[in-house]
């Protein structure tokens, strides 16, 4: 389960509730259309962080992550860039160079 509310904030404000959400719930919310896109990937990354021994540093294997969360790699890459630009995460290493080949119609 993932705790989405800061423990310190809960301690200061007794009226603030803790919200726990797990992978199954996040996937169900996506299936029902309640969350999608960037929000879904953000929560998926948060689950990965919660399961990681060091939640301050997370290395994501794009293929495994895509399989687990039923995403395309391009969606994940775009979301990581978007989340980085919003300040939600910081990318500390650059992705490996991908070779593209373009073909133009004659």
Q: How far is CA 77 from CA 9, 15, 18, 19, in A?
A: 32, 38, 30, 28
pLDDT for 27: 93
pLDDT for 4: 47
Q: Give the pLDDT confidence of 39-94 residue by residue, as tens digits.
A: 999 999 988 888 888 767 778 888 899 999 999 999 988 998 898 888 887 776 65
Backbone angles phi, psi at 95, to 5 degrees: -65, 155
- Residue 73's domain comprises 2-85
Considering its fold, how many domains does the chain have in total? 1
Q: Give the pLDDT confidence of 21-30 residue by residue, as tens digits.
A: 889 999 999 9
Residue 47 within a domain:
yes
Residue 71 within a domain:
yes
Residue 106 within a domain:
no
Residue 103 within a domain:
no
Residue 34 within a domain:
yes
């Amino acid at each position: 389960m993932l705790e989405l509310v800061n423990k310190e904030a809960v301690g200061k404000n007794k009226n603030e509730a803790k919200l726990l959400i797990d992978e199954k719930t996040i996937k169900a919310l996506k299936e029902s259309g309640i969350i999608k896109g960037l929000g879904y990937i953000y929560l998926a990354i948060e689950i990965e962080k919660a399961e990681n021994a060091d939640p301050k540093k997370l290395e994501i294997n794009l293929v495994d992550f895509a399989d687990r969360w039923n995403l395309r790699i391009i969606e994940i890459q775009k979301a990581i860039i978007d989340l980085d630009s919003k300040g939600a995460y910081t990318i500390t290493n650059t992705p490996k160079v991908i070779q593209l080949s373009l073909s133009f119609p004659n």
